[in-house]
Structure formats: structure tokens, C-alpha cells
Amino acid sequence: MPDGDGMRLRLAHLYADVMNVYGDRGNAIALRYRCEARGIALDVDGIGIGDTFDPGEYDLLIIGGGEDREQRRIADDLVGRGPAIRSAIEDGLPTLAVCGGFQLFGERYVDADGGVLPGIGVFGMETRHPGEGEERAIGNVLLQTGYGEVVGFENHGGRTWLDDGQEPFGTVIAGRGNNGKDGSEGARVANAIGTYLHGSLLPKNPAVADFLLGTALARRYGEGARLEPLDGALEESARAAASTITRRGDGEGLRRRLRGLLRR
């Protein structure tokens, strides 16, 4: 078994130049940092519209968020790649899909103008944007997940509804999540995580990043491939700060709603 120095992973970053709203490319930066700090090389390939791409040749797959116009730009190209991506995820490819990318990994996204963008059906879900005049889900988010508490922020108009039996990524402690009503956030299938959380997500949520990397290493080099622990002091202090702000901030939202009720 090669030690950290001999291991190498390949990351495919879908539409890195287009689907990068709120700096979601920070997820690729965090994965590269957490690999190189362990002596593991990470090759990152940006996959653009029309590029040749075989998901089976990669160890990790990520896609970031984008406003409706960016989603319209990439939707047809992504749909064409749907069968190969679904097959790779069914085979266990560790994947992270954020916000606009997450929406298009569902069955469809009905955008703010009522246009229907087909998704690739990784997650059993549909997203519908109620129209530009409706309130967006904007703010800090705190989730309970299988990786402990996860922090981030959301900014989306679309409301996502999971099919019966579709597992969420987490449940909302503070914030809106998929639709602001059923307490679900994101979706999970095999080793694929979909979420609305920007931040970007991975720098402040190392447990999620290391789930993706540990899974990729084991698939590439066998169960004996170890992900050495990293000093997480900086990440944990950032998480704690974000968690405190979110809990306090959500209280402010609650107080605002109560004041509204009292004024009626």
C-alpha cells in the first residue's frame, strides 16, 4: 500500500467556470488542501460544455451553484451526460452537488420564468421556483446530518420536494432548507451528497470533505488506504463561529416573526 506520498486522486469539476456562484469552487480548493496536507496528489479537471468526460475515470465529482441563466446554459449538456453520471454514482462515485447543480441532479427544475429544465435524475426530487416576485431563501443554515452539525448559507428561489423514500442530506436546525416547510435539506444517494449550502461548504465542514476523500481513497486503493487525521483547530473554530451566528441569527428571525404577529 503506497503511503500518502504515492497516492493520487482525480477530481472532475463540472462547469467550474459557469456554476460557481458564491465561490463554490472553494470546495475543490478544500479537497485539494486536505489531500496535499496528507501527501496525496489531487488532479482537478474542469469539465466544460462539450468537453470529453468519462465519470468512470474519476475518483470525485463536484458541481457548484448557478443562477437560472447559468443553469439554462449548461442544462442540455448535463442531460447528455446524465446516464454516465448516474451509472458512476450508482457505482459509488463520491459526489457533491451544490444548489443550482443540486437542483439539476434531480428530476427537473422549473425556473423563475416557468421554463422546465430537465435534470439527470440522480436524486428523486423536483424543484420549482415560485417566480422572481416571491421571497428567496437567503441566510445562514445549520443542519443535523450523519456527519454531525453542518454549517453554511443558502440563497435560492427554488423550492425542492423530495420523492417518497428519497433520503435528505440533513434536517434543518436553523434556516429554510429544501422548501422551508418539511425540515429537509439536500439529498443523499449512495456516496452522492446534494445540498443548498454554499460557504463554500467543505472548508468549514471537514467531516463531509473527509467522507468524500476517504471514500475515494478506499475505492481507488482498497479499504486499507488510510486518511490520516489533520489538525482541525482552524476549521472547528470557523464552524463554531458560524454555528453561533446562525443560532443567534435565527433567533433574530424568530423575534422578527413574533413582532410581526404581535403587530396584527
**Secondary structure class of 252 (helix, strand, coil):** helix
Whether residue 35 lies in the annotated active site: no
Q: Does the annotation count 13 as an active-site position?
A: no
Under the binding rule (CB under 6 A), the answer on residue 175 touching ligand GLN is no
210 CB contacts (<8 Å, ≥6 apart)? 34, 227
- CB of residue 43 to ligand GLN, shortest distance in Å: 26
By CB under 6 A, tell whether 158 contacts ligand GLN: yes
Whether residue 215 contacts residue 91, with contact meaning beta carbons closer than 8 Å, is answered with no
Q: Is position 108 an interface residue for ligand GLN (rule: CB under 6 A)? A: no
Minimum gap (Å) between residue 29 Cβ and ligand GLN: 18
- Residue 66 binds ligand GLN (CB under 6 A): yes
The answer to whether 107 contacts ligand GLN (rule: CB under 6 A) is no
DSSP secondary structure code for residue 107 in this structure: S
SS3 label, residue 242? helix
Before 200, cis peptide (omega within 30)? yes
Count the Cβ atoms, other than its own, within 10 Å of residue 1.
Answer: 9
Nearest to ligand GLN of 66, 170 (CB atom): 66
| Out of 38, 47, 60, 71, the residue judged to bind ligand GLN by CB under 6 A | 71
- Segment near ligand GLN (CB under 6 A); pick from 30-38, 150-158, 162-170, 246-254: 150-158
Which 3 state secondary structure label does DSSP give 75? helix
The answer to whether residue 68 forms part of the interface with ligand GLN (CB under 6 A) is yes
- CA dist 191 and 111 (Å) reads 27
CB 47 within 8 A of CB 74: no
# residues near ligand GLN by CB under 6 A: 14
Report the alpha-carbon distance of residue 142 to residue 51 in Å, rounded. Answer: 36
Q: Which one among 11, 14, 21, 212 touches ligand GLN, defined by CB under 6 A?
A: 21
Identified catalytic residue from 13, 129, 156, 198: 198
Residues forming the site for ligand GLN (CB under 6 A)? 21, 65-68, 71, 99-100, 103, 129, 155-158
